[in-house]
Structure 1
């Protein structure tokens, strides 16, 4: 069997002028995650991340924590959906959402339900169906690139990882949202693939992080 480890990026910079970069804590979370993976004897044959800065930075710090240097492959299929676009089209968006992460989460879920309904596709640069289709394709490509017994680390974001997990257990929007809501920064999701297919083994494992440093943005 081959193993795929999906790692959510470290804490980004919510509430600042540029969310798409790691905070100091996010960088440390990423290094700790790399050190943990190395301590488990995990030596990836391949590293993949999306195009987003926070994903690339996480991959770099993760490798630093592992004490390894391997070429990273970029796959835009692992990019996150445009969260601010989902909330931005809400005519009655709570203004506190820009700086209050709890308020933002509620507004995001309301926006996501509107997005996934398929009734307002013209309002979005990427529809929900297009998002799930590209994430499905990214998973298939990551699996296809592995030889027997190999392992790959993919650094992505909550939405893409949550959709992958939901898909593998036969879930849809509701399961995706439930997973998306609880995905922790640098949480590790483990997937195995072999003759019997591709299966979800664990989701959002974050025991390697100090509980006081657990973050969701």
Structure 2
């Protein structure tokens, strides 16, 4: 069998002018996971991230902390959906969502429901169907590129990883929404592939983090 580890990026810089970069805690989370993987003897054949800054920074942090002699590959198929686009298209706004993470999550889930309905596709740069098709293709590329006994690490974001998990659970939008809500920064989802196809064996494992380092945004 082959193994794919899907890693959510470390905590980004919510509430700042540049969200798309790791916060100091996000850097700590990335280093903690890299140290954990090194101690576990995990040596991936490849490591890939999406093209977003927080994803690339997390991947580089893993490489450095785990002391992997691996070059980072970039695959934009692993990029997160455009949350700003979804919120901008939503009919009502909540000014507190700019600084309150809980208010932001509530607004994002309402906007995501509108996005996924398919009734307003012209309002979005990427439709929900296009997003899920993109993630499906990225997951297939990553798994199909592995030989027997090989492993790979992919660094992505909560929405992407939640959809990959929902797909493997034969779930749909509601399953995706529930998984997306609880995905932890630097959490690891493990997928094995063999004769019976792709199987998710763990979701959102974050045992490498002290409890005070667990974050969701």
| TM-score, length basis structure 1 | 0.99
Report the equivalent of 1:145: 145
Q: Deviations over 1:39-87 (max 9, x none)?
A: 1111101001000000000000011110123111111110000011111
Secondary structure in 2 aligned to 1:202? strand
SS in 1 for 2:155: strand
The yes-or-no answer on 1:169 pairing with 2:169 is yes
Q: Check the 8 A contact 2:90/2:114 in 1, yes or no.
A: no
What is the distance in 2 between the residues matched to 1:62 and 1:71?
12
| 1:58-69 mapped onto 2 (5 Å cutoff) | 58-69=58-69
| Corresponding residue for residue 42 of structure 1 | 42
The match for 1:211 is: 211
Alpha-carbon distance in structure 2 between the residues aligned to 1:91 and 1:200: 37
- Give the aligned CA root-mean-square deviation in angstroms: 0.6
- Structure 1: give runs of 5+ residues left out of the alignment: none
Structure 2 unaligned blocks of 5 or more? none
Match of 2:80 in 1: 80
Which residue pairs with 1:131 in the alignment? Answer: 131
SS in 1 for 2:170: coil
Contact map agreement 2:3 2:149 (CA 8 A) in 1: yes
Partner of 1:157: 157
Q: How does 1:113-124 map to 2 (within 5 A)?
A: 113-124=113-124
Deviation at 1:91? 2.5
Query: Contact conserved, 2:30 with 2:61, CA < 8 A, in 1?
Result: yes
* Cα distance in 1, alignment partners of residues 93 and 39 from structure 2: 45
SS at match of 1:132: helix
SS at match of 1:198: strand
Supply the distance in 1 between the matched residues of 2:216 and 2:85 (Cα, whole angstroms).
19
Aligned residue in 1 for 2:194: 194
Following TM superposition, by how much is the alpha carbon of 1:160 offset from its aligned partner in structure 2, in angstroms? 0.3
Q: Aligned to 1:201, what secondary structure does the other structure show?
A: strand
* Residue 28 of structure 1, CA deviation: 1.1
- Per the TM alignment, residue 90 of structure 1 is displaced from its structure 2 partner at its CA by 1.8
Could you tell me how far apart the structure 1 residues matched to 2:192 and 2:90 are?
39
Distance 2:155 2:177 in 1: 20
**Shift of the alpha carbon at 1:161?**
0.2
Displacement of 1:130: 0.1
